[in-house]
Structure 1
């Protein structure tokens, strides 16, 4: 049927039908994704509302805010005091390989009445540590990094020689010294180390009798083996 054979009323109805079909198809294509999105948002809102209904507000802390603030102030003052003490101790530490300190130790031995049989540098092995997590990561990557990123702080059970070895937080140069003299002379030497201008710490001390007996009226000669941290 040709359009010219249709009346004006029939042509108008045909146009309206075509417009309705096109608008319906367009609306359906646009409406369905929006409707699905709205449904998802409604489900998410319902789920969130259920979680909020089940949520439990935390109890009010038992500690008083003022008490916590006072404790924090005390900790900050304690930390400031520790830093001040650490700075003072740092000033008393001699430079590494300080010849001046070694000369003063030798002079103290002469003044104390002891004879230095040997005086040598002690070189303990460097301390290293790798955490279990680092080992596991290293195994996965096929490589284990044994170099610690920061200086170690070993436990007290490790002993001070290990705790002050290279690679640790408290690393200091060490000397192994053997002294020969009476008990009082050795005692005077050990106590005299505290009076030196630089910090000297006795890490290890062993005292034993010499095989030769002392003449009558003379104190027993002793052999003292010390490890000093300079």
Structure 2
């Protein structure tokens, strides 16, 4: 492969990966905030039993939001310009040999095993590195789809659509496993594309001290006596742009 073509495909991968990186950080931030709130409920005996409306609401909002995010990143059939790990891996497969040296450097055991399997199948020696890299990327793609399957199923049947005739048994454990797999594979390809290690849980960590808002009284009885849930949010000044809906907290 010519250097120009190598540079071009690596630039394309880096652009796609940049958007994935941002989305995965938002996914992990959502989980971090949710876990913080749930642990506060768990440690506060006044809030813990029975599970209150607010606790159940946070579970629902978190479960739906992050299942949808996993569906975007790890769904079976991404669109042409979707921010999707599956799309990135599909883009990489035709020019996979660009990554061979980095696979050898950072994932030596796996790369040697993949190359041995390729050579054992009497594959053309001239294309053995391409075939080995395709195998390695294909295995990651298969693992991502498999692990994310239950979260994607929940997003399909209970979030993006509602089909009460279909049984859905997805658990928070299933969702967490899919998030961990998305994180691990994203970190892997950030390393392979940029030759630089990333710890996404550290990258997304919110500013120290944000949890202190839970030390503050949230309302007085006079405020709670207002019809809060029926009140229209105050309008912003006319010169300000209206606040747009966002798919994440970042």
- The answer to which structure has the higher strand fraction is 1
The two structures have a TM-score, normalised by structure 1, of 0.22
The two structures have a TM-score, normalised by structure 2, of 0.21
- The answer to which structure has the higher helix fraction is 2
Between 1 and 2, higher relative CO (CA 8 Å, sep ≥ 6) is seen in 2
Higher Cα Rg: structure 1 or 2? Answer: 1
